[in-house]
Amino acid sequence: MTGTAAADPTEVICLGESMVTFMPSRPGRLADVPSFARTIGGAESNVACALAAAGHRVKWVSRVGADGFGDHLIEAVGAYGVDTSAVGRDPDRPTGIYFRTATDRSTDAHEVAYYRAGSAASAMSPMTLPYAELTGARVLHLSGITAALSADCLALMLELTERREGRPLVSFDVNHRPGLWRDASGPEVLLELARGADLVFVGEDEAADAWGLNGGAAIREALPEPGVVVVKHGARGATAYTGPAPETAGGLAPGRAEGPTDGARGAVFAPAPRVDVVAPVGAGDAFAAGFLSGTLRELPLRDRLRHGHLMAAAALTVPGDLGTPPSTAHADRLAELDDAAWERLRLGPGWTSAVDEEVRTS
């Protein structure tokens, strides 16, 4: 299932590089790991796969090499039900790959070895991906990683985040990766791109690191333009900030501010459920997919945040970046729990195939 019928229009376009990922067979330094398992990884394709697995019509737009790794990426992403027909093949540039250790990305022991310089995806530009081909959906999802790949990629990102009439809702995950930027311009560029978006996802820790901003209110103050700014507080939860905004792009409403608020421009906080973490990777992309799913369904902000947490929990309870999401009906039942029941949730491996009563604990 790799295509989308013309009569069944695309809901979300996700644009960005995906790479073949080599996962270690055991913990340890890259120098000591004897073998690796092949999988896929890419912030935007992760979002596309999670949304498609949840039943949405999604297209992934990128470029890969005319090589076996490119074949694998297209087949693997397409297997989730994602439309890959807009993925270009570059005969002169390779598909990017990377190796990583099994440790938490936030620790000093974590190692990543990227082989993506000069990759096919780094040649994405306004010339190779015309604007008109990227706006035929309700949502266009981007991340800051793409802007760091090359000057051409940055030009494309600046064009796609330019405010103009009739554009889709532009979703932007900051994804600050200092190691990808060739100079110190990264934080300033990311701030400019975020200000051009309609919906922004940013971690409280990365906003402090990139912009020196501490706390959700300060982040929202620095980003007054987007209709919604979602600040992620790690295992504690997430806050969605809304406020007065011009006519929302894509015909999607910012969201009804239902749930606990702190009075800061309609801020809604939703705590994250407790999760028995198997691997701390892929949660941010999964959270974005869950929130976008709720946005497409025009759910209240609290429920959008809860769906983000549930999708993140699906990723956290499997070894790789992508987990199998719960059914929509299952996720809706959990998202509609009262506050006390929600706070009693504890989600572990296999929870997405369990019924409500099997995942509630005291």
Tens-level pLDDT at each residue, the chain (362 residues): 344 444 568 999 999 999 999 988 888 889 998 999 998 989 999 999 999 999 999 999 999 999 999 999 999 999 999 999 999 999 999 999 999 887 655 566 678 888 888 999 999 999 999 888 888 899 999 999 999 999 999 999 999 999 999 899 999 999 999 888 888 999 999 999 999 999 999 999 999 999 999 999 999 999 999 999 999 999 999 999 997 544 445 556 565 555 444 444 589 999 999 988 887 778 899 999 999 999 999 999 999 999 999 999 998 888 767 778 888 999 999 999 999 999 999 988 888 886 544 455 44
How many residues are recorded in the chain?
Answer: 362
The residues near 322 (Cβ < 8 Å, ≥ 6 apart) are 46, 49, 50, 53, 80, 282, 286, 315
Is 108 a catalytic site residue?
Answer: no
Of 362, 356, 350, which Cα lies nearest the Cα of 336? 356
CA distance 10 to 28: 42
Q: Name the catalytic one among 83, 173, 198, 285.
A: 285
Rounded CA gap, 233 and 236, in Å? 6
Q: What is the pLDDT of residue 319?
A: 74
Whole-number pLDDT of residue 44? 96
